Amino acid sequence: MTVTEQDIRDAINIPEASELSSAVILSAISRATGYITVLQERYAAPAAFFVPCEQAYANYLAYQAYADRVLNVPPGAYSEGQWTPIAEEIVRSTGDKLQGLRQVYEDYEKIIKSYPARPTGTFHSNTSLRPPRFRLGQYDYDCMGMVPPM
């Protein structure tokens, strides 16, 4: 299961793309996925913890972007140079919700980090004259250059 844009919109209760663009949400998902992938490679926690952790982190990142740009614009219009409000101004306080989303993510991260760390790689012994290669995750590295193959 992967985190979707709709999952984020539902979790942070911002259904309108005019309030929070799809591009911002997809960027949050991408950043969260990258970080959680690193946690998966590093810690031996059960796989069931990583999807909700990714969701929680993406929720936090998306809402953080929203909180950074939220504008409280009172509904109304100008008529002959005079502002005429048509309803009460809606004031949004994002600080508490942002802190709550961060706490949920940090709780998942603490659970994951409570499991033992995985080995960071293994050396492949080679009896030829070629330098040994180092394997980290899905990539093999030459020990001489430590540059991943393209």
Closest of 69, 77, 73 to residue 89, by C-alpha: 73
**Where is pLDDT greater, at 18 or 120?**
18
Predicted local distance difference test score (pLDDT) of residue 71: 61
Least Cα distance to 49 among 117, 118, 103, 111 occurs for 111
Strands of the 133-136 sheet, one edge to the other? 122-124, 133-136, 139-142
Q: Give the integer Cα–Cα distance in Å for 51 and 7.
A: 12
- What is the pTM assigned to this prediction? 0.68
Q: What is the pLDDT of residue 1?
A: 59
- What's the average model confidence in pLDDT over 77-103? 81
pLDDT at position 126, please? 42
pLDDT at residue 137, as a whole number: 57
More confident: 139 or 126: 139
Kindly tell me if the per-residue pLDDT of 115 is higher than 80: yes
DSSP string, 24-63: HHHHHHHHHHHHHHHHHHHB---GGGHHHHHHHHHHHHHH
Determine the longest span between alpha carbons in the chain, in angstroms: 87
> What are 4-55's pLDDT values in tens digits?
999 999 999 999 898 899 999 999 999 999 999 999 999 999 989 999 999 9
Predicted local confidence at residue 91, as pLDDT: 64
Q: Which two tokens mark 61?
A: 């990142």
Instruction: Note the pLDDT tens digit of each residue in 64-89.
Output: 999 887 565 666 778 788 877 776 66
Neighbours of 90 (CB within 10 A): 9
pLDDT at residue 68 in the model: 84
Residue 146 confidence class, pLDDT cut points 50, 70, 90: very low
Q: Could you give the CA distance from residue 49 to residue 109 in angstroms, rounded to a whole number?
A: 9
